[in-house]
Protein backbone atom coordinates (compact mmCIF):
# COMPACT_ATOMS: atom_id res chain seq x y z
CA UNK A 1 0.00 0.00 0.00
CA UNK A 2 1.91 3.12 -1.12
CA UNK A 3 1.60 5.93 1.37
CA UNK A 4 2.55 9.52 0.80
CA UNK A 5 4.17 10.85 3.97
CA UNK A 6 2.86 14.34 3.31
CA UNK A 7 -0.70 13.04 3.43
CA UNK A 8 -0.34 10.64 6.31
CA UNK A 9 -2.60 11.37 9.23
CA UNK A 10 -2.04 9.71 12.55
CA UNK A 11 -4.66 9.66 15.23
CA UNK A 12 -4.29 8.02 18.57
CA UNK A 13 -7.50 7.18 20.36
CA UNK A 14 -7.90 5.37 23.62
CA UNK A 15 -8.27 5.50 27.35
CA UNK A 16 -5.69 7.15 29.54
CA UNK A 17 -2.99 4.81 30.67
CA UNK A 18 0.65 4.22 30.15
CA UNK A 19 -0.35 2.39 26.99
CA UNK A 20 -1.35 5.75 25.48
CA UNK A 21 2.22 6.93 25.78
CA UNK A 22 3.38 3.80 24.06
CA UNK A 23 0.80 4.26 21.33
CA UNK A 24 1.85 7.87 20.76
CA UNK A 25 5.47 6.85 20.52
CA UNK A 26 4.51 4.20 18.04
CA UNK A 27 2.43 6.65 16.05
CA UNK A 28 5.44 8.92 15.73
CA UNK A 29 7.49 5.97 14.57
CA UNK A 30 4.85 5.05 12.03
CA UNK A 31 4.74 8.62 10.74
CA UNK A 32 8.49 8.71 10.34
CA UNK A 33 8.48 5.44 8.44
CA UNK A 34 5.25 5.95 6.53
CA UNK A 35 6.80 5.52 3.09
CA UNK A 36 7.86 1.95 3.54
CA UNK A 37 6.76 0.93 7.05
CA UNK A 38 9.60 -1.55 7.33
CA UNK A 39 8.70 -2.66 10.82
CA UNK A 40 4.91 -2.86 10.48
CA UNK A 41 3.65 -6.17 11.81
CA UNK A 42 1.52 -8.28 9.52
CA UNK A 43 -2.19 -7.56 9.70
CA UNK A 44 -4.30 -9.92 11.79
CA UNK A 45 -7.54 -8.93 10.09
CA UNK A 46 -8.87 -7.10 7.09
CA UNK A 47 -12.13 -5.86 5.64
CA UNK A 48 -13.17 -5.08 2.09
CA UNK A 49 -15.41 -2.04 2.07
CA UNK A 50 -18.24 -2.29 -0.43
CA UNK A 51 -20.72 0.38 -1.44
CA UNK A 52 -24.50 0.10 -1.32
CA UNK A 53 -24.36 -1.29 -4.86
CA UNK A 54 -21.69 -3.83 -3.99
CA UNK A 55 -18.77 -2.03 -5.62
CA UNK A 56 -15.45 -2.34 -3.82
CA UNK A 57 -14.50 1.10 -2.55
CA UNK A 58 -11.71 0.33 -0.15
CA UNK A 59 -9.95 -1.82 2.35
CA UNK A 60 -9.22 -1.72 6.04
CA UNK A 61 -6.40 -3.62 7.71
CA UNK A 62 -5.92 -4.24 11.41
CA UNK A 63 -2.57 -4.72 13.09
CA UNK A 64 -1.59 -5.32 16.67
CA UNK A 65 0.99 -2.74 17.63
CA UNK A 66 2.27 -3.05 21.18
CA UNK A 67 -1.11 -3.52 22.79
CA UNK A 68 -2.96 -1.09 20.54
CA UNK A 69 -4.83 -1.85 17.35
CA UNK A 70 -3.70 0.05 14.29
CA UNK A 71 -6.36 0.55 11.63
CA UNK A 72 -5.22 1.51 8.13
CA UNK A 73 -7.92 2.45 5.65
CA UNK A 74 -7.70 3.10 1.93
CA UNK A 75 -10.89 4.38 0.28
CA UNK A 76 -11.59 5.67 -3.21
CA UNK A 77 -14.62 6.43 -5.31
CA UNK A 78 -16.62 8.26 -2.69
CA UNK A 79 -17.33 11.98 -2.48
CA UNK A 80 -14.56 14.29 -1.34
CA UNK A 81 -14.81 15.49 2.22
CA UNK A 82 -14.88 14.02 5.70
CA UNK A 83 -16.70 10.76 6.32
CA UNK A 84 -17.49 9.13 9.62
CA UNK A 85 -15.88 5.73 10.21
CA UNK A 86 -16.76 3.29 12.95
CA UNK A 87 -16.47 -0.29 14.00
CA UNK A 88 -20.00 -1.62 14.25
CA UNK A 89 -21.09 -4.42 16.46
CA UNK A 90 -22.18 -7.08 13.97
CA UNK A 91 -20.04 -8.52 11.19
CA UNK A 92 -22.76 -8.44 8.62
CA UNK A 93 -23.07 -5.97 5.72
CA UNK A 94 -26.42 -6.37 3.99
CA UNK A 95 -26.87 -3.65 1.35
CA UNK A 96 -28.17 -1.12 0.71
CA UNK A 97 -28.69 0.23 4.23
CA UNK A 98 -26.17 -1.94 6.10
CA UNK A 99 -28.46 -1.82 9.11
CA UNK A 100 -27.43 -5.43 9.66
CA UNK A 101 -24.10 -4.18 11.04
CA UNK A 102 -25.90 -2.86 14.11
CA UNK A 103 -24.77 0.14 16.13
CA UNK A 104 -21.28 1.15 17.11
CA UNK A 105 -19.28 -1.35 19.11
CA UNK A 106 -20.06 -0.19 22.63
CA UNK A 107 -19.64 -2.82 25.33
CA UNK A 108 -19.48 -0.26 28.14
CA UNK A 109 -22.74 1.56 27.40
CA UNK A 110 -21.06 4.88 26.62
CA UNK A 111 -22.45 7.69 24.47
CA UNK A 112 -21.07 8.41 21.03
CA UNK A 113 -18.07 10.53 20.32
CA UNK A 114 -14.56 11.29 21.48
CA UNK A 115 -15.69 14.84 22.36
CA UNK A 116 -18.71 13.57 24.28
CA UNK A 117 -18.16 13.71 28.07
CA UNK A 118 -20.11 10.43 28.34
CA UNK A 119 -18.30 8.90 25.40
CA UNK A 120 -16.89 7.42 23.39
CA UNK A 121 -18.00 4.12 21.99
CA UNK A 122 -15.27 1.53 21.62
CA UNK A 123 -15.92 1.54 17.88
CA UNK A 124 -15.53 5.27 17.34
CA UNK A 125 -12.73 6.17 14.94
CA UNK A 126 -11.52 9.44 13.39
CA UNK A 127 -13.08 10.65 10.16
CA UNK A 128 -11.68 9.57 6.83
CA UNK A 129 -10.80 12.54 4.63
CA UNK A 130 -11.33 11.99 0.91
CA UNK A 131 -9.45 14.41 -1.30
CA UNK A 132 -9.27 14.11 -5.08
CA UNK A 133 -11.35 10.95 -5.00
CA UNK A 134 -9.43 8.95 -2.44
CA UNK A 135 -8.07 8.85 1.07
CA UNK A 136 -4.35 9.16 1.65
CA UNK A 137 -2.68 7.19 4.36
CA UNK A 138 -5.46 7.00 6.94
CA UNK A 139 -4.03 5.43 10.04
CA UNK A 140 -5.67 5.34 13.45
CA UNK A 141 -4.46 3.74 16.65
CA UNK A 142 -7.07 2.57 19.11
CA UNK A 143 -6.89 1.03 22.56
CA UNK A 144 -10.65 0.48 22.76
CA UNK A 145 -11.07 -2.66 20.70
CA UNK A 146 -9.32 -5.97 21.05
CA UNK A 147 -8.10 -8.77 18.83
CA UNK A 148 -10.17 -11.44 20.53
CA UNK A 149 -13.70 -12.57 21.37
CA UNK A 150 -14.05 -10.38 24.47
CA UNK A 151 -16.63 -7.65 25.07
CA UNK A 152 -14.70 -5.15 22.94
CA UNK A 153 -13.40 -7.86 20.64
CA UNK A 154 -13.55 -7.82 16.87
CA UNK A 155 -14.17 -11.55 16.89
CA UNK A 156 -17.01 -12.19 19.27
CA UNK A 157 -19.78 -14.55 18.19
CA UNK A 158 -21.37 -12.14 15.73
CA UNK A 159 -18.13 -10.53 14.59
CA UNK A 160 -17.77 -6.85 13.72
CA UNK A 161 -17.89 -4.60 10.67
CA UNK A 162 -16.27 -1.32 9.67
CA UNK A 163 -18.69 1.22 8.24
CA UNK A 164 -18.09 4.44 6.29
CA UNK A 165 -20.73 7.19 6.36
CA UNK A 166 -21.90 9.86 3.93
CA UNK A 167 -21.09 12.78 6.19
CA UNK A 168 -18.54 13.87 8.75
CA UNK A 169 -18.79 12.53 12.29
CA UNK A 170 -19.03 15.47 14.69
CA UNK A 171 -17.50 13.25 17.42
CA UNK A 172 -20.22 14.41 19.81
CA UNK A 173 -23.80 13.65 18.83
CA UNK A 174 -25.22 10.39 20.12
CA UNK A 175 -25.64 7.77 18.75
CA UNK A 176 -23.64 8.20 15.55
CA UNK A 177 -22.19 11.70 15.25
CA UNK A 178 -24.70 12.96 12.67
CA UNK A 179 -22.60 11.14 10.10
CA UNK A 180 -25.53 10.31 7.87
CA UNK A 181 -26.16 7.25 5.79
CA UNK A 182 -23.95 4.20 5.78
CA UNK A 183 -22.32 4.31 2.33
CA UNK A 184 -19.86 1.43 2.61
CA UNK A 185 -19.43 -1.57 4.87
CA UNK A 186 -16.90 -4.33 5.31
CA UNK A 187 -16.98 -7.41 7.51
CA UNK A 188 -13.81 -7.62 9.60
CA UNK A 189 -12.27 -10.96 8.77
CA UNK A 190 -9.50 -12.68 10.67
CA UNK A 191 -6.45 -13.48 8.57
CU1 LIG B 1 -20.87 3.98 11.69
ZN1 LIG C 1 -20.07 5.84 18.18
Q: Which ligand is nearest to the CA of 165?
A: 1
CATH of the domain at 163: 2.60.40.200
3-state secondary structure of 177: coil
Please tell me the total count of domains within the chain: 1
Reference 183, options 59, 56, 97, 71; nearest CA is 97
pLDDT of residue 13: 58
Band of residue 24 on the pLDDT scale cut at 50, 70, 90: very low
- Residue by residue, DSSP assigns 22-48 as HHHHHHHHHHHTTTT-TTPPPPSEEEE
Digit-coded pLDDT (tens) for 93-150: 999 999 999 999 999 999 999 999 999 999 999 999 999 999 989 999 999 999 999 9
Instruction: Compute the distance from residue 188 Cα to the ligand 2 centre, in Å.
Output: 17
3-state secondary structure of 7: helix
Starting from the CA of residue 87, give the closest ligand: 1
Q: Which ligand is nearest to the CA of 120?
A: 2
Closest ligand relative to 102 C-alpha? 1
The alpha carbon of 177 and the centre of ligand 2 are apart by a number of angstroms equal to 7
Q: What is the pTM of this model?
A: 0.82
Domain span holding position 84: 5-190
Query: What is the model's pLDDT at position 136?
Result: 86
First to last CA, the chain: 17
Amino acid sequence: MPISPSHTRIAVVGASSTRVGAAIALAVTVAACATSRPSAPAPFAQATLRSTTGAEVGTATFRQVDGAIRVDVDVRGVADGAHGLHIHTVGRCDPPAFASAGGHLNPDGHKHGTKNPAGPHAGDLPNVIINGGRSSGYTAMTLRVTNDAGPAGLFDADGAAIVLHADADDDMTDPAGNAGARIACGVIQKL
